Amino acid sequence: MHRRVITFSRNAFLPLTTVCANRCGYCCFRTPVQEGCIMPPGEAIRTLDASAAIGCTEALFTFGERPGAMPGFTPLLGKLGYANILDYVYDLSLAAVRRGLLPHTNAGILTYEELDRLRGVNASMGLMLETTADVAAHRDSPGKDPAIRIEMIENAGRLSIPFTTGILVGIGETMEDREESLRVIRDLHRRFGHIQEVIVQNFCPKPETPMADAAVPGTSELCATISLARELLPADVAVQIPPNLADAAHLVRCGVNDLGGVSPLTIDYVNPEHPWPQIDELRLVAGDAELRERLCIYPQYIEKGWYSPLLEPLIRDLAGRIAVPGRGE
């Protein structure tokens, strides 16, 4: 009998800006346009250098959705020499590749053309579906319209981009809504074959947000949702939980087979009150399963050649390195 495998990646988390066109009821990441709302290039490069030096393989670039739509943002970005945030992430992706890190970008809603451009410098990309339900938490968030998000995930499939998506549990949706969301993701994968992992992420209340006092989903509810995800999703799609947000050691027994990107250097800027577990702690979370390191592009997509020529040498090099026994330990 084969030993069960649970995977993870070592990443650097780079929040390029906290400005966002959405105003979600649970978010503490978003800030107004102000000095310091954009990560300076020097800080980004230092983070990439330090992360590469300690064995990270992934540069996770994330930022608020359509920050350029917010008054005053574009002039601030212009001081750094960029006309828009996507030019900035493109250049930093090239810088990451030069340092031996594979870029993965979570940029919110992007057009087909924008996805196509970033595909040239990203090994994988992502967008949380969150929910197909109409919830109060998204009332002031035009980018959280489920139809808009589904269209972007479709476009990523058309472009053969290895993709991460997921659901957010506890933001006002029902279990029936979660099932519908997971079925939508499943059907997208059946059409395009590009969903490499689905995150089941629990809502965590943040002080001074509209949902600061909202009820938190319990471990049994999360377990039931994870089990549903594992039942509905094809076997080649990983079910992932963020190991810093819930009782991961319990939840891995519910059908989880991936623990996502964990940074030995940077914090979780979206959930700063929840530190990342380190690698030895992940081994405890995995329990009797084998803990195995992976890249941000899963092996099946490397085999299919779903990456740009620019990234091929680095992908091949890193895939060889993490295959060395003991690396994930």
Section 174-195 average pLDDT: 98
DSSP string over 164-201:
EEEEEETSS--HHHHHHHHHHHHHHHHHH--EEEEEEE
Assigned superfamily of 5-322? Aldolase class I (3.20.20.70)
**Poorest-confidence range of 1-5, 64-68, 210-214, 293-297?**
1-5
Angle at which helices 146-158 and 112-119 cross, to 10°: 40
Which residues pair with residue 261 across a beta bridge? 9
Percent of the chain with pLDDT strictly greater than 90: 73
Q: Does position 158 have pLDDT exceeding 70, yes or no?
A: yes
Q: What is the mean pLDDT of residues 72-87?
A: 96
What is the structure's pLDDT at 138? 87
In this prediction, residue 329 carries a pLDDT of: 46
pLDDT tens for 231-287 read 999 999 999 998 877 788 889 999 999 999 888 876 555 666 667 677 788 888 898
Q: How far is residue 72's CA from residue 75's CA, in Å, rounded to a whole number?
A: 6
Contact between 150 and 127 (Cβ < 8 Å): no
Q: What is the mean pLDDT of residues 209-218?
A: 84
Asked if residue 327 has pLDDT above 60, the reply is no
**Maximum mean pLDDT: which of 18-27, 215-224, 228-237, 258-267:** 228-237
Mean pLDDT for the stretch of residues 300-308: 97
- Identity of the amino acid at 144: K
* Pairwise CA distance, residues 259 & 248, whole Å: 9
- Name which of 187, 180, 152, 17 is nearest 85 in CA terms: 17
- Give the closest residue to 233 by CA, choosing from 297, 194, 190, 174: 190
- Residue 21's pLDDT band (cuts 50, 70, 90): very high
Closest CA to 175 of 229, 123, 213: 229
> Does 50 have pLDDT greater than 60?
yes
Residue boundaries of the structural domains of the chain:
5-322
**pLDDT of 328 above 80:** no
Instruction: With beta carbons less than 8 A apart as the criterion, state whether 185 and 195 touch.
Output: yes
- 188: nearest Cα among 170, 209, 161: 161
Helix, strand, coil % in the chain, rounded to nearest 5? 40, 15, 45
Q: What is the mean pLDDT of the chain?
A: 92
Please give the residue that has the higher pLDDT: either 84 or 261: 84
Q: Where are the beta strands (DSSP E) in 144-285?
A: 163-169, 195-202, 238-240, 258-262
Start-to-end CA distance of the chain, whole Å, equals 22
Spatial CB neighbours of 43, under 8 Å, sequence gap ≥ 6? none
Higher pLDDT, 3 or 109: 109
State how far the Cα of 5 lies from the Cα of 193, in Å rounded to an integer: 22
pLDDT (0 to 100) of residue 1: 59
